[in-house]
Structure 1
Amino acid sequence: MISSVYLIGEAFSRDWMKESLRYLCKGRRVFQGNNLFSKGACYGMMERLTPGETGKNHVFLGKDKLKSNIGMKVLRRGEVSYQALLDAGINWYEAKNTMEFYLLEGRAVEILITS
């Protein structure tokens, strides 16, 4: 079962295979041509599979992405520091983190949410 089709390149913008494309793309999500959407979908998947410099300098947000960084202040070797739990820009349904810590004073954990 094929749910998405990526048609990249100038050859697909010509008239030589209109009927074949109509049949191939029927009932599927199609990204065609040399436009922002087709390139964006390809670059997005490439960045997801092999993260590069772009992902380090930019946060890509969408309706399924975390809009804020989530973390907490912790005492590490006698100094207060920030412990990141989840980063903005990751899919909320794939977000997970595991951490063990001890509560020294009180019984509360303060979660910091930073836009």
Structure 2
Amino acid sequence: MSSNITEHELEQRLLAVAEERRQGFLHRLRELDAGLAARLHAVSPDEWADHPSLAAWPQLQPQLTLLRQADAALCQWQLGLYGLCSDCEAELEPVQLLADPCRQRCDSCEQKYQKAQHASWTL
């Protein structure tokens, strides 16, 4: 890890981004269904992205994707695996993690992942 970026800084950035994503999600959900947004407060935030009631709102998919990414990064942090590529386990650059604390893959694996995603859309 770079001496310029500490683990504490990365952790604080990750926590801040996760909270921003959660608040953005709640804001969007309140616009669509205030009652459901209120009910989600009884559920742990790390369970929001998989809440069955949200399947009825396809317009929330971008926010749900962001929540899942944040939840995965927080889980990696707790397991001591944060900063490793989820595919090849190479160490991610601290500067990349500071820019995108929810980053899951190194550049090479991300390119392969995106290529595979786009190929699955081709008929």
The interval holding the TM-score normalised by the smaller chain is under 0.3
Higher CA-based Rg? 1
Higher strand content, 1 or 2: 1
The structure with higher relative contact order (CA 8 Å, sep 6+) is: 2
TM-score scaled by structure 1?
0.22
TM-score scaled by structure 2?
0.21
Higher helix content, 1 or 2: 2
